[in-house]
Amino acid sequence: MINLEPPKKFATLVHQARQSATEFFRPNSRKYDHAEHSYPVELDMLASVLDGLNSAGGEGGGASGIRRSDNTKQEGTRNGGNLSTVLGTIELCWGDVGLLLALPRQGLGNAAIASVADEEQAERFAGKWAAMAITEPDCGSDSAAIRTTAVEDGDEYVLNGTKIFVTSGERADAVVVWATLDPAQGRAAIKSFVVEKGTPGFTLVRLEHKLGIRASDTAEFHLENVRVPKENLLGSPEINTERGFAGVMQTFDNTRPLVAAMAVGVAKAALEETRELLAEAGVEVDYDRPAGKQSAAAATFLQLESDYEAAYLLTLQAAWMADNSKPNSLQASMAKAKAGRAGTDITLRCVELAGTFGYSENSLLEKWARDAKILDIFEGTQQIQQLVVARRLLGKSSKELR
């Protein structure tokens, strides 16, 4: 049975993540919000610390992801790498979500590799910083509509297409590119390929100027006759129409709880800041009285806290299920949907509760409100998550429920 209290064995990790957020992320948060596209050199030391923890067998504390195969041989309940990574991500995003996304070797592409790579690939790509390229100019939330192609040619695949909104695309060592082996086969033909930087034909087109997460670069790439070795295809090269999109969806099952954790971390930061501001203004939040019998500000704050708790618990549940080899596609989408929406709502309402102070750069509240929005969009928008949840609950296929 799942116990939604943080395991005691992760107390040190959570403390270290909070300390890193306090000493590295918060002091540099505003600096790199203003200096968009500048590399946060302060992160190099922290990235080395995380690498040391991982090489020493420590549980993950960043966004690198955990191999599902690590959890297959076990007895009883396990609190493992997925749960520890989620807990660490929450604390680091309490510091700054953009800087977390800018951490070397902690990219969403690393989580994709962890999800579906075989043992040889996992070893070969170990230590590389991997971004993930899904979105295209004519393909946003519907990943099955991908038009980037991968054509087999001898011992290689030849990739052609355009990818946009690639988080950490410029700085990463490699990019996990989603492409179709056969557009006529639909979802089943979508595969992911590790394309290493410097590969001929793989061109950085531009960097985006963004609303939030400005510490993290967001790139557009063009692929023209990019040749990738066959062994860089993640997972099976077979097109299995019966299994459909399942192989690719396993990546989302691993990354969506991580994005949910990012949203939970930002929301946690906003609530803590707002609680202090309300106390300074003489607004008492009484947990022993009904919300309707308290001030409007206190009642609003209690509502926001309840949304936070729901998002937090759903996120822990999705990660715990992954650790215990339980199918978690439904729970991963529920966590992402709830946390993405809650993160946006909570940060914006906290700006309102703080008044003019929340709207100015005197605090980080306005920045957190900007940063939170992307967490409701990438890795599948709010609408897509609700659609996935509805299909799972109603037992409908993608053709039956669109």
Tell me the residue type at 113: I
Cα distances from 269 to residues 78, 245, 376, in angstroms, run 29, 36, 17
Tell me the per-residue pLDDT of 166-186, one tens digit each, with 9 for 90 and over.
Answer: 999 999 999 999 999 999 888
In a domain, 223, yes or no: yes
398, 391 Cβ separation under 8 angstroms: yes
pTM over 0.75: yes
379 flagged as catalytic: yes
Indicate if 294 and 357 belong to the same structural domain. Answer: yes
Indicate if 266 and 388 belong to the same structural domain. Answer: yes
In a domain, 239, yes or no: no
Boundary residue ending a domain (203, 234, 265): 234
Residue that wins the pLDDT comparison between 162 and 378: 162
Given phi > 0 = left and psi -120 to 50 = alpha, else beta, which region is 139?
beta
Indicate if 221 and 310 belong to the same structural domain. Answer: no
Residue range of the domain that includes 344: 246-394
Indicate if 180 and 77 belong to the same structural domain. Answer: no
| Weakest mean pLDDT among 66-70, 247-251, 255-259, 293-297 | 66-70
> Rg of the Cα trace of the chain?
21
Indicate if 250 and 381 belong to the same structural domain. Answer: yes
169, 127 Cβ separation under 8 angstroms: no
Tell me the per-residue pLDDT of 286-295, one tens digit each, with 9 for 90 and over.
Answer: 999 999 999 9
- What CATH number should be reported for the domain holding residue 253? 1.20.140.10
- What CATH number should be reported for the domain holding residue 68? 1.10.540.10
Q: Tell me the C-alpha distance between 235 and 212, whole Å.
A: 33
Boundary residue ending a domain (234, 260, 295): 234
Cα-based torsion angle of the residue sequence 269, 380, 222, 129 in order, rounded to the nearest 10 degrees? 50
Helix axes 11-20, 81-95, angle to 10 degrees: 30
- What CATH number should be reported for the domain holding residue 196? 2.40.110.10
Tell me the per-residue pLDDT of 196-231, one tens digit each, with 9 for 90 and over.
Answer: 999 999 999 999 999 999 999 999 999 999 999 999
Domains in the chain: how many in total?
3
Residue that wins the pLDDT comparison between 258 and 239: 258
Statement: residue 239 has pLDDT above 60: yes
Indicate if 188 and 84 belong to the same structural domain. Answer: no
Instruction: Look at residue 142 in the predicted model and tell me its pLDDT.
Output: 75
- How confident is the model over 117-121, as a mean pLDDT? 91
Cα distances from 70 to residues 27, 74, 118, 138, 176, in angstroms, run 36, 9, 12, 37, 21
Indicate if 315 and 255 belong to the same structural domain. Answer: yes
Indicate if 102 and 158 belong to the same structural domain. Answer: no
Indicate if 176 and 266 belong to the same structural domain. Answer: no
In a domain, 400, yes or no: no
In a domain, 375, yes or no: yes
In a domain, 401, yes or no: no
253, 112 Cβ separation under 8 angstroms: no
Q: For residue 72, count other CB atoms closer than 10 A to its CB.
A: 8
Indicate if 280 and 364 belong to the same structural domain. Answer: yes
Give the pLDDT band (50/70/90) at residue 53.
low
Boundary residue ending a domain (124, 142, 171): 124
267, 233 Cβ separation under 8 angstroms: no
Instruction: Look at residue 246 in the predicted model and tell me its pLDDT.
Output: 56
Q: Tell me the C-alpha distance between 234 and 227, whole Å.
A: 15
In a domain, 399, yes or no: no
Which residues lie across from 162 on neighbouring strands? 222
Catalytic residue among 36, 59, 379, 400: 379
152, 108 Cβ separation under 8 angstroms: no
Statement: residue 57 has pLDDT above 50: no
In a domain, 309, yes or no: yes
Indicate if 224 and 312 belong to the same structural domain. Answer: no
Statement: residue 326 has pLDDT above 80: yes
Residue located via tokens 């994005």:
259
- How confident is the model over 333-349, as a mean pLDDT? 98
Instruction: Look at residue 107 in the predicted model and tell me its pLDDT.
Output: 80
Indicate if 78 and 179 belong to the same structural domain. Answer: no
In a domain, 241, yes or no: no
